[in-house]
Amino acid sequence: MAHLEIDGVSLAYPNVRERSTFLALDGIDLGVERGEFVTIVGPSGCGKSSLLMLIAALLHPTGGSVRLNGKPVTAPGPDRALVFQDFALLPWRTVLKNVELGLELRHVPAAERAAIARKYIAMVGLREFERSFPHQLSGGMRQRVGIARALSVGPEVLLMDEPFGALDAQIRQVMAVELLKIWERDRKTIVFITHDIDEAVFLADRVIVMSASPGRIIETIRVELPRPRPLTLRSHPDFVVYRERIWSLLEEQVRSSLHWQAADDTPPLAQVP
């Protein structure tokens, strides 16, 4: 039995404009092992973020089920934590207080939550910045605060939705290396969404390739590259083979997605994460 099981999951949204439903995800089957790093790629609008929201139980499937450790996932819980693209830090709180937030909401005593927060601040390399405010940090540093905050509550599964999407290309590559260092120390189960094929290959044990809407899994690719992974790995011939294989799968899906959008069948944006 996999650590995280997604069994026949479908998700449909009401399309008020058309008085119909829009099928975002169709028959998703995916098992993720404990401590595995899985990345998900697919064209825009294929339901990648919706799938992450289903795992977090911020959305509920219209068909199928999500299970963690064999138990149905029906509500948000401390066993899962989300990291978003926009950092979502509170500007009036220091790094330390931002990382403490989840623990504070769980009524962890002040001394204990400060100790836990400092452990993860050190893990992401920000020990000297715990008294700094978000506006005093670079984008990469703010994202590391978000990762520390997610880790501090002790989740079994870390759900990451384009966490480096707002960063420039150079910082994004460095952050991928830093994330792998954190993962190798902590070995959380990670499900990571990205549009960047190189990023997907560089990080993952497996890359899940999704179709254009409605989102389906069209292939699962196991990445047999050694760890730890330096940035120079991206120029290795084996890495290039993975990249080209994934792009060959995605190219037709991306074209299909563009045709679908051009046909003006897109449901209201608020309905399709």
**What is d(CA 93, CA 72) in angstroms, rounded to the nearest whole number?**
35
Q: CA angle 120-82-206, nearest 5°?
A: 95
pLDDT score of 266 more than 50:
no
DSSP 235: G
pLDDT score of 260 more than 70:
no
Instruction: Tell whether omega for the bond before 214 is within 30 degrees of 0, i.e. cis.
Output: yes
Radius of gyration of the chain (CA): 19
Q: Would you place residue 273 in the very low, low, confident or very high pLDDT band (cuts 50, 70, 90)?
A: very low
Model confidence pLDDT, tens digit, residues 234-247? 999 999 999 999 99
Average pLDDT, the chain: 89
pLDDT on residue 14:
82
Q: Which amino acid is at 33?
A: E
Which long-range contacts link 122-129 to residues 24+ away (Cβ below 8 Å)? Answer: 123/148, 123/151, 123/182, 123/185, 123/186, 124/148, 124/178, 124/182, 125/178, 126/95, 129/95
pLDDT on residue 109:
94
* Mean pLDDT in residue range 4-27: 87
pTM: 0.88
Q: Would you place residue 68 in the very low, low, confident or very high pLDDT band (cuts 50, 70, 90)?
A: very high
Please name the residue ranges forming H helices in the chain. 48-56, 95-105, 110-123, 139-152, 169-186, 197-203, 237-262
What angle do helix axes 110-123 and 139-152 make, rounded to 10 degrees? Answer: 130
Model confidence pLDDT, tens digit, residues 72-114? 999 998 899 998 877 789 999 999 999 999 899 889 999 999 9
For the 1-79+160-167+189-261 domain, the top CATH level (class) is alpha beta
**What is d(CA 110, CA 116) in angstroms, rounded to the nearest whole number?**
10
* Mean pLDDT in residue range 18-38: 91
* Mean pLDDT in residue range 247-258: 82
pLDDT on residue 75:
94
Q: Would you place residue 44 in the very low, low, confident or very high pLDDT band (cuts 50, 70, 90)?
A: confident
Contact 68, 143 (CB under 8 A): no
pLDDT score of 265 more than 60:
no
pLDDT score of 214 more than 50:
yes
Q: Would you place residue 30 in the very low, low, confident or very high pLDDT band (cuts 50, 70, 90)?
A: very high
pLDDT score of 270 more than 50:
no
